[in-house]
Structure formats: C-alpha cells, structure tokens
C-alpha cells in the first residue's frame, strides 16, 4: 500500500450468532468509531484533499442478553475495548494528527453507548 493511501480498519467483534425472538427483531451490532482525524493534509488523486479518517469497529452482541444487567455490562466492556483498540490504531497510523488517547476513547465510547443504551432499553422493554 502506498504511504499516501487512506487507511481504514474494519473489524467485527464477537461473531457468534444466537437466535431468539427478542434478538431477531433488532440489529445486534453497535458501531464504535474513533473520532475523525481532522488535521490530515495528504493529497489524494489529482491533488484533491483526502477525506478525514476514522477507524470503525463493529461490536456484535447477538450472543448477549442485553436486557439483563450482566449482558449490558458486557456490551459496555466490549465497546470500551473496541474504542481503545480503534484509538490506538488511529494513533499509530497518524501519530501527529490525533487527539490524546483519553479524549479519543471517551468520544468513541460516548457515541457507541448512545446506540447501546437504546438497544438495552428496547431489550428490557421486550423482556417485560
């Protein structure tokens, strides 16, 4: 890969698939995205600026019952782990262009937890 090429990482965490009536009705995946690199100044094809970069992890929770406390806690752990990995990867690719690791992880977790909280609330409601 050439050094000016945009790097995008995509990973799937937890590929187990469990079927069940409440799980079949919802998407059992949360997107964890490390914040965009805003300071990227690399030129793309024909001198056009390249888009900002982000690292995306997809956290699958189809093997969890997120309607329970333990399931919701495990989902949050997976999100935090994925955010940490994504931010570490972003920092390695663009060490001079990224914000401090703590801010990156917090931003990625905050966004993903908004999705996760909606899914947890829906699972709790479906379980009642």
The three-class DSSP label of residue 98 is coil
* 4 assigned to some structural domain: no
Q: Which of 46 and 78 is assigned the larger pLDDT?
A: 78
C-alpha 52/C-alpha 49 separation (Å) is 9
In a domain, 100, yes or no: yes
Instruction: Identify whether 45 is part of a domain.
Output: no
Length of the chain: 128
User: Tens of pLDDT along 103-121?
Assistant: 889 999 999 999 999 999 9
Count Cβ atoms within 10 A of the Cβ of residue 23 and give its class: 0-12 exposed, 13-18 middle, 19 or more buried. buried
Give the domain extent around 61: 11-36+53-122
Task: Give me the number of domains the chain comprises.
Answer: 1
Q: What is the pLDDT, as a whole number, of residue 37?
A: 61
Task: Compare 93 and 8 and report the one with higher pLDDT.
Answer: 93
Is pLDDT at 127 greater than 70 in this prediction?
yes
At 99 the three-state DSSP class reads coil
- Give me the residues paired with residue 58 across strands: 12, 31
Q: By the 8 A CB rule, do 128 and 122 touch?
A: no
CA-to-CA dists, residue 128 to 18, 70, 118, angstroms = 20, 17, 16
């Amino acid at each position: 890969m050439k050094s000016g090429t945009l790097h995008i990482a995509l990973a799937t965490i937890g590929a187990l698939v469990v079927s069940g009536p409440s799980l079949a009705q919802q998407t059992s995946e949360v997107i964890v995205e490390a914040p965009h690199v805003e300071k990227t100044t690399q030129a793309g094809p024909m001198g056009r600026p390249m888009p900002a970069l982000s690292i995306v992890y997809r956290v699958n929770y189809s093997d969890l019952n997120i309607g329970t406390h333990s399931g919701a806690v495990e989902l949050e752990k997976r999100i935090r782990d994925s955010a940490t990995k994504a931010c570490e990867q972003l920092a390695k690719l663009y060490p001079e262009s990224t914000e401090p690791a703590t801010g990156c992880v917090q931003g990625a977790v905050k966004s993903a937890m908004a999705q996760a909280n909606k899914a947890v609330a829906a699972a709790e409601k479906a379980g009642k």
